[in-house]
Chain A
Amino acid sequence: MTASILFFVLATVAIAAALGMLISRNPVNSALWLILNLFCVAGLYLTVNAEFIAVIQVLVYAGAIMVLFLFVIMLLNLAALPDLKRVEWRRFIAFFLGMGLLAMLMFVMASSLEMLPDPVSLETAATTGSATELAKVLFTRYAMPLEIIGILLLAATIGAVVIAKRKPV
């Protein structure tokens, strides 16, 4: 019972935070709403006993990525963008595209309800989500992808520095 109440609270706050991110005019407010959303998602990971992923979510997303976003917003000293004078047809098309996508996702989900797997027991789920179990496969079976991810992060760091560097005139 507690788990279901927790799920509904976290899910509602996550959706409200996502909405707040979409409609707030100031980019700083958007970033703060997104941080709230990320924390709620970390809580949702805890409700399915995925402890390792929940901790990584807070560390990497809320700790590193969002700090980067806030830092860039601060660096560029952005105000809210001015309103457009003309009617934007882009927005109508965007709305219908988004609703069509939602309808499609819901249809696929509803049509495959019987095919969903039977859930395993809570104890098994707690073992699968633990850092011990994940580290075992991460450093044996998935060791190669892990190394490649390391190289990717290095390349992204170097690329970001090169792109953002001031060009000599």
Chain B
Amino acid sequence: MEITLNWYLTLSALLFTMGVLGFLFRRNAIVMLMCVELMLNSVNISLVALSQSMGDTAGQILVFFVMSVAAAEAAVGLALVIAIFRNKLTIDVTQINLFKY
């Protein structure tokens, strides 16, 4: 059976949906950040598959930049989690509701 581009795109869509589901379902702020990483990764899969099947390097350069932004996002996000934990002693996002209502 020939593995075509469609399979990579379908896998990417499935993983992206799982990331979205996890982000909406989970209450732990760190696990939510991990789900964001999963979403970024699934987009990377489709970018690399498309770039390789078209023989164009631009997609992989974009993946390189997405990874850098993901690293920056993880660093700042985890720093925010630490700062919130200092104040509230919890990282349950349903308990962090100072700005709600």
Contact = CB atoms under 8 A, between A and B. Distances in A.
Interface in A58-112: 60-61, 64-65, 68-69, 72-73, 75-76, 78, 81, 84, 90-91, 93-95, 97-99, 101-102, 105-106, 109
B53 A98 contact: no
Contacts of A119: 4-5, 53-54
A64 B28 contact: no
A155 B15 CA distance: 30
A116 B31 contact: no
Interface string B27-56: 110110111011001001100110111111
A156 B72 contact: yes
Consensus secondary structure, chain A interface: helix
Interface of B: 1-11, 13-22, 24-28, 30-31, 33-35, 37-38, 41, 44-45, 48-49, 51-58, 60-61, 63-65, 67-76, 78-83, 85-86, 91-92, 94
Interface of A: 3-4, 7, 11, 14-15, 18-19, 21-22, 27, 30-31, 34, 37-38, 41, 44-45, 47-50, 52-53, 56-57, 60-61, 64-65, 68-69, 72-73, 75-76, 78, 81, 84, 90-91, 93-95, 97-99, 101-102, 105-106, 109, 113, 116-117, 119-120, 124-125, 128-129, 133-134, 137-138, 142, 145, 149, 152-153, 155-157, 159-161, 163-164, 166
